[in-house]
Structure 1
Amino acid sequence: MKDNLDGVATFVQVVEAGSFALAAERMNLTRSAVGKAISRLEARLGARLLHRSTRSQSLTAEGQSYYEGCVRALAELDNAEAALDHSGIEPSGRLRVSVPEAFGHLCVAPVLLDLARQYPQLQIDLSFTDRVTDLLEEGIDLAVRIGELRDSTTLAARHLGTQHVVIGASPAYLARHGTPASLDDLADHVGIAYSCGGNVAPWWGALGALGAAGGDERDGAVKPVPIRSQISMDDIQAIAAAAIDGYGLAWLPCWLLTRFAQSGALVPVLDSYRVRSQEIYAVWPKERHLRAKTRVAIDALKARIPAMIGE
């Protein structure tokens, strides 16, 4: 029986990527292999599907009609595979995951490594970056993101937990400069700032204290914290290391500060004050049926992340 699907997925990738080069990158093929697959497909169909030049490509009328039919056919195949996924078949295949660097190393990687041990047919490709990746453009199956999510018609998300941010300092720094008693006292201190793309993130704190005797939550509003920064970095772990060495106060997620507080390398400062928290999400491309490999990873993260971040 003739395999009428030969080259179909490659053709769809070429159309949706907009170029042979990007389609080849997404499919882990050479550009030459992609070009030959399209040529074979056109020869088998006896029709030209793409107008190609050195700078651009576009669908022919026949190509447009064939593309629409291929998308429907592949969607049906996806549905059939998804149905098998839900029937108890073990998760398998390559799962590409993008995670923030520090949070990924300390919290996400242990979960996914355990998942790989549990499912030997599951191949996990883990990328550590604080850059916001384009899941569709880069062929990412799943990402973990911290902070506010933009509305999207192409992405789905699941809340994994809330990252609370706290201020910490080394005992040596506090011995030299004193311990601040309020957010306003931070004006007399030096902070180690987080920067991204040259933009330094401001510190934010609540107007009122929580948990302190006579503490007043007020209306829950937050305001910028007045603190000067001599050093800024784009890596949370490097910021923690600088704080341990006494370069200043650090604004750190609680899951990271706790590790150093247990050894006495850092001390929580103003822990009775609220500092702006951030939500943590698993994000993935929307599809009618979530594949087993993605579903088990999301479920595992949801089950274990809250305890890791102190919820």
Structure 2
Amino acid sequence: MDKLSAMRSFEAVARTSSFTEAANQLNTSQATVSKKVLLLEKELDCQLINRSSRKLSLTDDGKTYYEQCKKSLSDIDNIENQLRNSKNSEKGTVKITAPIPFASRVLVPLFPDFYKKHPDIKIEMILSDTQEDIISKSFDIAIRANRHFDDSSLIALSLCKNPLWLIASPEYIKHHGKPIKPKDLKQHNFINYTLFKSYRNLTLTKDNKSENVNVNGNLASNNGDAILASVINGIGIGELPIWMIEEHIKNGSLIRVLPEYIASEVPFKILYPVRDRIPLRVKLLIDYLRVNLKNR
């Protein structure tokens, strides 16, 4: 038995004192309403309605149940209306997870303009360079750098290309020499980013010809800022996205290595759980980020 449907049938009968009028209000048949009320009485093991040929009346149990039933159904309706309104409202919180360096350098500078357009939306950021479980931790949005996603419970949309450059400090190049060809990297100390699945193998392309190079070094990290600091301090050569290093290239604290070669590209994507309907506040943030980051 559908308990909620039966309660709605009983409430309508008790309120209107008529099976016929209850059926009209519920857009169903009198027989269906009568059957649901009988099943409800059987479930509760008590009579709720006194039935006669002239009129209907509630039993004492029926009167007690009606008052509680009316309150419960009203609470349910209020909650459902709040949820419906929430989905169509700009008010509320969007919970997102993203890599730490990307969030601090790229996402946060975009938020002032977003808040001007949507002042009633709040953003809660849980930042991590590891991949948080989106579903179990109730994230609305996740931003991740990866080439492929195969999770059927998530929708993945392209966010930005995220090209990578090979870089080193002038001091490191002064003491260890500048690589001329990809294979020269084998002789250098390479600082690896451990969250890339094939982080010890680089693919470099020039004139549509690709070369794979195995690289090794005495330092590796799962954090881009740690790699950046290590490269700036002359420990070795690293591979980092342009948005992390462009200011250091301009001020001379870093120089490009093998600039004529195209290094890897690990695109950022925006992920969110599969659902029948995306809340408006989530959709607005997704659309805003895609528009403002597509040329990154």
The answer (yes or no) to whether the contact 1:205–1:273 under 8 Å persists in 2 is no
Partner of 1:283: 271
Pick the aligned partner of 1:202 from 200, 203, 206. 200
Deviation at 1:117, TM superposition (A): 4.2
Partner of 1:98: 97
Partner of 2:113: 114
Partner of 1:156: 155
Matched, 1:235 2:223: yes
| Structure 2 CA distance for aligned equivalents of residues 191 and 78 of structure 1 | 55
| Structure 1 CA distance for aligned equivalents of residues 82 and 270 of structure 2 | 22
Partner of 2:32: none
Partner of 2:125: 126
Deviation at 1:254, TM superposition (A): 1.6
SS of alignment partner, residue 244 of structure 2? helix
Matched, 1:246 2:234: yes
SS of alignment partner, residue 174 of structure 1? helix
The answer (yes or no) to whether the contact 1:200–1:232 under 8 Å persists in 2 is no
Change (3 A) 1:155 1:78: farther
Partner letter of residue 249 of structure 2? A
| Structure 1 CA distance for aligned equivalents of residues 111 and 154 of structure 2 | 21
| Structure 2 CA distance for aligned equivalents of residues 279 and 200 of structure 1 | 15
Aligned pairs for 1:178-217 within 5 A: 178-196=177-195, 201-206=199-204, 208-209=205-206, 216-217=207-208
- Which string of whole-angstrom CA distances, capped at 9 and with x for unpartnered residues, describes residues 34-83 of structure 1? xxxxxxxxxxx97xxxxxxxxxxxxxxxxxxxxxxxxxx99x8699447x
CA-based RMSD = 2.8
SS of alignment partner, residue 275 of structure 1? coil
What is the TM-score normalised by the length of structure 2?
Answer: 0.68
In structure 1, stretches of 5+ residues that fail to align are 5-44, 47-72, 210-215
Q: State the identity %.
A: 22
Deviation at 1:235, TM superposition (A): 1.0
SS of alignment partner, residue 135 of structure 2? helix
Which entry has the higher C-alpha Rg, 1 or 2?
A: 2
Partner of 1:27: none
Partner letter of residue 98 of structure 2? V
Partner letter of residue 303 of structure 1? V
The answer (yes or no) to whether the contact 1:180–1:269 under 8 Å persists in 2 is yes
What is the TM-score normalised by the length of structure 1?
Answer: 0.65
